[in-house]
Amino acid sequence: MMSIEEKNGIMLYKMMLMFTCVFFVMSFVYGIMHNSLDEIIPGFIQILRTPAQCTHDAYSISVPGAFFNTGLCALLIVVYIPIFGSIKLVSGSTMAAFFLSIGYGTWGMDIINMLPPMLGIMIVAKLRGIETKKMVKLGIFSTALSPLLTEVMLRWPYYKTVVDGVEIATNGAGVTNLPFQPGGIAVAIIIGLIIGFVYPAISDHASKMHLGYSLFNAGPAAGFLCCILVGLLFRVTNIPIPVNGPASGEEVFEFVFISYMIVFVICFVVGLKLDREALKKYVDLLKDAGHNVDFVNTYGIGATLINFSIYGIFVLFFYTFAKLCFGAEFTGIIAGVIWGAMTWVAAGAHPLNVLPIAIGYTLISLLSTTIIPAFGIGEDIGRLSMNSVPILIGFAYATGMAPITGHYGFIAGIVAAMLHFAIVTLTSNLYGGFNYYNGGMAAALVVFELVPVLEEYWPRNKN
């Protein structure tokens, strides 16, 4: 007889299957609406053959192709879980790995650059005699370094190729549709094995360093490892780090807003149908600090689905606010990063403990771009405003500090958000745009510094 946890695992896996279908449906619906069905497969193939540095926007290649790519990324994960693990063991943190990964499907991640780290983790687990089912979540999280793997497969180390008999440089912006290099594929496999050996150990120690107050355990692990690999591949070899890909594609606000809202409303209805007590349990969930918790096993699948719905609408409205008030554009990066902000919806994040982070980000952006320049200090630089892609991405991963709000209060959450804002555009320089979890790395650094101070001077709201 199955336990409650196993039944919940099966339900969560069915949710993953549902979302996999959602992205394929979005691809074909958009293609039909915009007479671009014939773009899907060619666009998808071109996405595979395009450098994936942050922040490359797959919408600049093909919107339906980008949704199709996201669907395939999700499909790879839902196939990976039963092959190497167990559907019954799916948990809130497994869902976190799922949403975090598919969020990059519209700005760089694909089924080719996901494979080396995912398989590397499993190969090393087999060699070490570790049960692969214990490594599934880490295998999905290891895709953080996917941009680096695309880089070595397509253009590292020579940064030139022959097109129509003419040799051209490939280290500039806007480079796309490059052929895969056999030698690069071999290097990617080696890097995948290195990740398999190193990533689990770093991830385990990183979680001990921040004591669970940063939900993105994989963030510092990915950041530290990527920094070393980029140093070896570029600094040691004296190869300049290439320019990022195109930063912005087509804006599809109405389509994304309506599509996502439909999904969130459906999740609310299903949550109520699965558990008549779901709303009552959700009230208790909103009181949870979000520290070392699995909402599914603690409050049930119904309440978790309601949190997914309400929190999803909250996140969608935050980015809509950034569009309406600051002129942010709903390109592929924002469409994808919304799912990044949803990462911990089943394992720590809810509207009340993320609200101070949203407020903190907005306040410090206004301070940096409007108030400080008004006093003649510095200048209004657009990259720090609430319509800037790096800042909008940063907010999504600042949500991983939700337990700080839950344990130390509203003001602590605002302060954490402001500190994250201050460093998130700096840490990306450590690894040249080749680490998707830059925001998680920044969150961990904030927690490393802030939590000891809070423990010393502001210990309250402890569970």
Number of neighbours of residue 42 by Cβ within 10 angstroms: 13
Angle at 79 between CA 75 and CA 84, to 5 degrees: 145
Retrieve residue 20's tokens.
């996999």
User: Do 215 and 400 form a contact (C-beta atoms < 8 A)?
Assistant: yes
Between 92-102 and 4-33, two packed helices, what is the crossing angle to 10 degrees?
A: 20
User: Do 153 and 182 form a contact (C-beta atoms < 8 A)?
Assistant: no
Q: Give the residue from 154, 153, 119, 157 showing the smallest Cα distance to 139.
A: 119
* Rounded alpha-carbon distances, angstroms, from residue 449 to 93, 210, 321, 415, 443: 25, 9, 31, 12, 10
Q: Give the residue from 21, 14, 16, 22 showing the smallest Cα distance to 262.
A: 22
User: pLDDT 10s per residue in the chain (463 long)?
Assistant: 788 889 999 999 999 999 999 999 999 999 999 999 999 999 999 999 999 888 889 998 999 999 999 999 999 999 999 999 999 999 999 999 999 999 999 988 999 999 999 999 999 999 999 999 999 999 999 999 999 999 999 999 989 877 677 888 888 877 888 889 999 999 999 999 999 999 988 887 776 776 778 888 788 889 889 999 999 999 999 999 987 665 577 889 999 999 999 999 999 999 999 999 999 999 999 999 998 899 999 999 999 999 999 999 999 999 999 999 999 989 999 999 999 999 999 999 999 999 999 999 999 998 888 887 777 776 656 567 888 888 999 999 999 999 999 999 999 999 999 999 999 988 888 888 899 999 989 998 999 889 889 888 876 654 4
Q: Give the residue from 295, 293, 152 showing the smallest Cα distance to 229.
A: 152
Retrieve residue 187's tokens.
């290097």
Number of neighbours of residue 104 by Cβ within 10 angstroms: 29
Q: How much is the pLDDT for 48?
A: 95
Beta-carbon-side half-sphere exposure of residue 278 (alpha carbons within 13 Å): 22
Q: How much is the pLDDT for 463?
A: 45
Residue 167 β-bridge partners: 162
Question: What pTM did the predictor assign?
Answer: 0.92
Q: Say which amino acid occupies 344.
A: W
Angle at 99 between CA 201 and CA 194, to 5 degrees: 30
